[in-house]
Amino acid sequence: MTSIVPFQIEDLFDINPVNLDPLTENFNLSFYLQYLTDWPSLFFKSIEIYSDFGQDHEISGYMMGKTEGKLSKKEWHTHITAVTVQDQYRRLGLASDLCIHLEKMTSIEPYDVLFVDLFVKVTNTLARQLYEKLGYSVYRRVVGYYGRDMPTDRNKIDDEIDAFDMRKSQPRDVNNETIRDHGDKVNVLPQEVVF
């Protein structure tokens, strides 16, 4: 019984069951506040009906997204910054629902983006499969994206610290110019993926 509603900054007081997950990042306040200020519609949560502790709902997951890039360079897009689901509500397609909602919302005005993209760790096969099911494909491999040091050699690949930049083109990209085949063979450095 999942519903999708806007995220509010006070939700940070209630998201421990989601954010105590080891892979979910706890950002500083400014980061959440910036997303809520700059992209208020692209930060939303999934909630469940829940009656314990006098609550009426519980947060089961959330999506943080943003839009960026220049249209003239064919880079105007939605970026999925974080999508996470609480342990009890996994394997239900909730993350997919959150992605679909973001995609639907930003494929029309006032956003009308060319594509949606996200980064996924090369070793995170489950996540990659989830996104592939949703129509995303690898656009490029970002070498050393999750590493501590800034890499300089784009041919020095390392599955543990490399990310796939995955994309899904949107109706505005009529000719599918923002995606490509065999993107996993195209290596770039983190500093080359700044918009």
Partner 1 sequence: MSDSDNDILELIDQGSYTYAQSLIAKKIKKFPQRSYYYALNNKILHKLGKTSQALQNNVKLMEKYPNDPQAIALLNEFFTEIGMDKEASLVYENVIKRYPNNTSLIIEWFESAIDKFDLRLYNRIFLNLSKSDKSSRLYKFWYAFSYYLLISNSTKAGLIEKELDLFKTLGTRVIEELRPFQNTQELFVYVSLLKAKGNFNGIIQLIENELSFNLDLDLKIIFLEALSESESWQKLFDYSRKLITEEDFNDFNTWKLLLKASKNLGLSFESVKSEIIESQKITRNSLLAVVHLADLYENGALFEAVTTYYQSFNRKLCCFFDLKNYIDKIDNEAFLEMVKESTADILSGTPSTTNDLISLVNNQKFVYLLSKDNIDIKEYISTNWKIYNIFKDNKNIRGGEFDNNPINELTLITIITELSIDDSVSNIIKNIAVIEHLLINDMYNHKLKLWLMKLYANINSTNLIIFNYQKMKIKMIQHETLSHYLYTVNPSKQHLTDFVNIYRFYLTSNEEVRSSVVSGFEKGIFNKLESFINFGSRLADSISRYHIILTIIRFSFVLGDHNYLNYFTNQLRNNANKILSQKEFLDNRDYTSEWKFGLAGEGKYFDQSLLKEPHDPSKTNDSMIKLNILRYLIIFEDREESTNKYMKQFNKIASNYKPQLQFDVLLLKLHLNILKLFKQSSNLNANEQQSILNYLLKNLKFDKIKSILIPSSLLSWQLNHNLINLAEFVKIVNYLSKRTPGNSFIQQLKPCLDQLVKDLKKMNVLDAELKELESLQSKIQITEVDGVKIDETFKLLHDSIEESTVSFLKTL
CA distance 152 to 107: 35
Q: Residue 26 region, left (φ>0) first, then alpha (ψ -120 to 50), else beta?
A: beta
Site track for partner 1 across 176-195, x = CB under 8 A: --------------------
- Contact status: 8 vs partner 1 (CB under 8 A): yes
CB atoms within 10 A of CB 46: 26
**Total number of residues shown for the chain:** 195
* Smallest separation (angstroms) from partner 1 to the CB of 106: 11
CA distance 4 to 157: 38
Give the strand order in the sheet containing 137-142.
2-6, 43-49, 57-68, 77-85, 115-121, 163-169, 137-142, 187-188
Task: Output the CA torsion 112→129→27→56 (10° steps).
Answer: 80
In the complex with partner 1, the residue whose CB is nearer, 101 or 172, is 101
Point out which span in 87-95, 143-151, 156-164, 186-194 binds partner 1 (CB under 8 A).
87-95
Point out which span in 90-98, 113-121, 155-163, 175-183 binds partner 1 (CB under 8 A).
90-98
Contacts from 48-56 at CB under 8 Å and sequence distance 24+?
48/1, 48/2, 48/3, 48/89, 49/1
Point out which span in 13-21, 70-78, 152-160, 178-186 binds partner 1 (CB under 8 A).
13-21
- Contact status: 40 vs partner 1 (CB under 8 A): yes
In the complex with partner 1, the residue whose CB is nearer, 51 or 175, is 51
* Smallest separation (angstroms) from partner 1 to the CB of 154: 28
In the complex with partner 1, the residue whose CB is nearer, 81 or 139, is 81
- Contact status: 129 vs partner 1 (CB under 8 A): no
Coil, helix or strand for 169? strand
Residues at the contact surface with partner 1, assessed by CB under 8 A: 1-6, 8-10, 12-14, 16-17, 19-23, 26-30, 33-34, 36-38, 40-41, 44, 48-53, 55, 58, 87-93, 97, 100-101, 104-105, 108-110, 126
